[in-house]
Amino acid sequence: MASPRILAFAGSTRADSFNKKLIKIAAEAARAAGAEVTLIDLRDYPMPLYDGDLETKEGIPASAKQFKELMISHQGFLLSCPEYNSSITGVLKNAIDWASREAPGETPLVCFKGKTAALMSASPGGLGGLRGLVHVRSILGNIGVLVLPDQVAVPKAHEAFQPDGSLKDPKQQAAVEKLGVGLAAILQKLHAEQ
Ligand SMILES: Cc1cc2nc3c(=O)[nH]c(=O)nc-3n(C[C@H](O)[C@H](O)[C@H](O)COP(=O)(O)O)c2cc1C
């Protein structure tokens, strides 16, 4: 089959985001394992807060359409999700909400159904954003994404990274790389006939 296509992004728009650093590690590992990886920054797809009246008047915003098209054209997602107040960040939930809206003639949830995702998180806190991942997993699962059981949460993220972007703890580094490699491998198997 052709290389599996993976879309990778963090649920943060912050320039110095720990989750942007983390997703880069997983994305590079997936690429090294033979996947075609598109690493994006949600900051480049600014979306208004979902508003049904805005959608009725103006349709789906251009940036949300672009984001959704990217999701449609990839078979797998690598997501690094910060935890806000024990849950998903507003920016990630808003992007998912817009992407879940059906354009005329489109199959419902076209950019989610049949896709496979691997999750990770990083936080300066002691749990590494683990509680937020529970919610992200549930949301994605409910809209048709197969979310892989393996996940990694990196605690004390403000102390966890080397200046070159790798994780100081080699075991943590290997675990994050394994998420990228594992997603690439499962996509190879799932889409072997394509
Ligand atoms: C509104 C808000 C709520 C937060 N709530 C939590 C939380 O519940 N658990 C946690 O571990 N960190 C929490 N944090 C701290 C974030 O983990 C921290 O800001 C982290 O750097 C965000 O991820 P990023 O670096 O990828 O942007 C919160 C931060 C903000 C701004």
The mean per-residue pLDDT over the stretch 102-120 comes to: 97
Which bin fits 179, alpha (ψ -120 to 50), beta or left (φ > 0)? Answer: alpha
Using most ligand atoms within 8 A of CB, pick from 93, 123, 156 the residue to mutate for ligand 1. 123
Average pLDDT, the chain: 97
**CA separation for the pair 161, 44 (Å, rounded):** 24
Look up the pTM and report it: 0.98
Residue 11 beta carbon below 6 angstroms from any ligand 1 atom: no
**CA separation for the pair 64, 53 (Å, rounded):** 16
The mean per-residue pLDDT over the stretch 62-80 comes to: 98
Q: Tell me which amino acid residue 154 is.
A: V
**CA separation for the pair 114, 49 (Å, rounded):** 26
Residue 191 beta carbon below 6 angstroms from any ligand 1 atom: no
The first and second tokens of residue 89, run together, are 């960040």
pLDDT at 1: 65
pLDDT category at 162 given cuts 50, 70, 90 is very high
Residue 14 beta carbon below 6 angstroms from any ligand 1 atom: yes
Residue 168 beta carbon below 6 angstroms from any ligand 1 atom: no
**CA separation for the pair 138, 147 (Å, rounded):** 9
The mean per-residue pLDDT over the stretch 128-133 comes to: 98
